[in-house]
Amino acid sequence: MPYAITKTQYRDEWVVAFQRGETYLKDCVTKELMISGLTASFALQGAAGRMTRRGTNGLIPSRNRTDSQPTITLEEKHTKETRPGFDVFTAAANLREAMQNASALTASREIDMTIIEALSTATNAYAGGAAQTLTYGKTVDALSDLFELDVMAGNEITCLWTPKAWARLLTFQEFKSADYIDAKPLVGLTLDRPKLWLGAKHIMHTGLPGMGTASASNFIFAKPAVGHAIAGDVKVDAGFNGEDDYSYDRATIYDGSTILQQAGVIKVVTDDTAAFS
CA distances from 126 to 136, 164, 169, 201 (A): 14, 18, 17, 18
Does residue 152 or residue 180 have the better pLDDT? 152
Residue 251 makes CB contacts below 8 A (sequence gap 6+) with 78, 79, 80, 103, 104, 106, 107, 234, 235, 236
Q: What is the pTM of this model?
A: 0.87
Distance of CA 20 to the CA centre of its chain: 11
> What CA–CA distance (Å, rounded) separates 53 from 8?
89
Q: What is the pLDDT of residue 217?
A: 98
Inform me whether the pLDDT recorded for 127 exceeds 90. yes
Q: What is the pLDDT of residue 180?
A: 58
HEC states along 28-77?
CCEEEECCCCCEEECCECCCCCCCCCCCCCCCCCCCCCCCECCEEECEEE
